[in-house]
Amino acid sequence: MSELKKAIDQISKDRGIDRDLLIDTLEEAVRSAVHRKYGDTMDIEVTFNEELGEIEVYQFKVVVEDVHDEISEITLEEAKEHDPNVQLDDEMGFKLAIEDLGRIAAQSAKQVIIQRMRDAEQEIIYEEFKDRTSEIVSGIIQRRDRTGWIINLGRTEALLPKDEQIPRERYKRGDRVQAYIIDVLKESRGPQVIVSRSHPDYMAELFKREVPEVADGTVKIMGVARDPGLRAKVAVSSRDRDVDPVGACVGIRGSRIQNVVQELKGERIDIVVWSPDIARYAQHALSPAVITRIMVDDEEETLEVVVPDDQLTLAIGRKGQNVKLAARLLGWKVDIFTETRHAEMNAALKGMDQIASVAEVSIDSFIRAGFDSTEAVATASDEALLAVEGLDEERIGEIRVAMNMLGLTAPAAFETDEAEETVVEEPADAEENEQEAEEPKE
């Protein structure tokens, strides 16, 4: 076996490059070197002779009476020295000695071979990793650049961008780290593997690895909401009535979930039971808070959640974290109200409904004009009430009479010229309580 053939077989085996692709690369490299030395007008054929284990190059010339281009033409007299039966306009092939290509041409061929091998290797790596998205990989922190951390995965490198890191997590060169492949990009310098440690699906994959029931599909993860490094909520359901999805994920004395928590540097995880009933699902998602009742608006995908007065802080959580994660898990907007505040709102709404009925105008018209309570209507001047679509002076008079009969007249404080303006408190939803809410000490 020739040295060239041995080299081809060895490179193909060591680098995992297809043998035919490698031979094509060699042929192309030699073809490029010949053209570089003799010019593009030379008609050549380059092939790899399997029996001899070497590259063969043949130059073709056309038989003519008078030669105008020595590269592509040959006289009939010279041609008959090689083949007595040759005729004008025939094409003859002559074997070229590759050794005659010269040092520069040989160097050019070498560069082409190296580049083609690198391209082929990068293509193999890209094909391997593009099918591994949504997998967890392990690597060693190699260096930091302006976009994030570079992780050595062995055959290639991965990028852990800044916005895919867990906040306050620190790395140094040589640290072994796990991450979740979210994308594989085909770049000119080679495939770019993008990984994440903050992606919700990373947590789902960790549970799949730690919990056999999740891995075999008995327990299904229905959703994950994360505040990376701080807290997360995971919704689970079971296909087997005899399998408790929460217990399976937590494990005996918390052994399974603890492995996930340690990998995520202490991120607190709430496991909640998923339900097709959005109200029941919301009740689980807002745990550990106790829920009094939930009103569902399917069209707007909004939930009004009423909690006991002493449960508001727990329902909202520190800096609104509990309700934010619950809303993200549900995919619905969630407004939290205390029982006291909700009762006040219902009373005001009932009075507004009566006023709107008398005026034969929708409540929405009052609200759009800025009147969202009976007190606001009672203290408003007739000119201000004319801003309500559908109201005229006659109907305003009817509203005044009706409010007197229903006992909805303005308090004495509003009847004086020096009365101060009253600000109507808005519903205590998640956003308003976000900064003032403190999670109870455990």
DSSP states of 128-139: HHHTTTT-EEEE
φ and ψ at residue 135, rounded to 5 degrees: -110, 155
Q: In the structure, what pLDDT confidence band is assigned to residue 427 with cuts at 50, 70 and 90?
A: very low
Measured in whole angstroms, how far is the alpha carbon of residue 322 from the centre of its chain?
23
Q: How confident is the model at residue 10 (pLDDT cuts 50, 70, 90)?
A: confident
The answer to whether 351 and 374 are in contact (CB under 8 A) is: yes
DSSP secondary structure letter of residue 265? T
Residue with tokens 């709404």: 349
pLDDT of residue 412: 39
Q: With residue 22 as reference, give the H or E element that holds it.
A: helix 19-38
CATH 3.30.300.20 fits 276-442, yes or no: yes
pLDDT at residue 77, as a whole number: 83
Give tens-digit pLDDT for 176-222.
999 999 999 887 677 889 999 999 999 999 999 999 999 999 999 99
Residue 291 structure tokens: 């829920």
Given pLDDT bands bounded at 50, 70 and 90, which one contains residue 68? confident
Task: Check residue 242 and give its pLDDT.
Answer: 93
Mean pLDDT computed over 356-380: 76
DSSP, collapsed to helix, strand or coil, labels residue 94 as strand
Query: What is the token pair recorded at 355?
Result: 């006023």
Give per-residue pLDDT as tens, 98-117.
666 655 555 655 666 677 77
**C-alpha pair distances (Å), 421 with each of 10, 227, 417:** 89, 41, 11
* Cβ atoms within 10 Å, residue 322: 26
6-23: average pLDDT: 74
- Asked whether 44 and 56 are in contact (CB, 8 A), the reply is no
Most confident range (mean pLDDT) of 64-73, 272-281, 367-376, 425-434 is 272-281
Band of the pLDDT at 343, cuts 50, 70, 90?
confident
67, pLDDT greater than 70: yes
Per-residue pLDDT at 22: 76
Label residue 431 by pLDDT band (50, 70, 90).
very low
> 352-385 burial, b for 16+ CB within 10 Å, e for fewer?
bebbbebbebeeebbeebebbbbbbbbbbeeeeb
Domain with CATH 2.40.50.140 in the chain: 132-196
d(CA 82, CA 92): 9
User: Would you give the DSSP letter of residue 390?
Assistant: T
Task: Give 426's pLDDT tier (boundaries 50, 70, 90).
Answer: very low
CATH 3.30.1480.10, applies to 3-127: yes
Q: Looking at the DSSP assignment, which residues form a beta bridge with residue 11?
A: none
Domain with CATH 3.30.1480.10 in the chain: 3-127
What's at 371, amino acid-wise?
Answer: F
Top-tier CATH class for 132-196 = mainly beta
Q: Where in the chain is the domain with CATH 3.30.300.20?
A: 207-274, 276-442
Q: Coil, strand, or helix at residue 345?
A: helix
**Average pLDDT score, the chain:** 81
69: amino acid identity, one letter:
D
Domain 207-274 carries which CATH code? 3.30.300.20
Residue type, 162: K
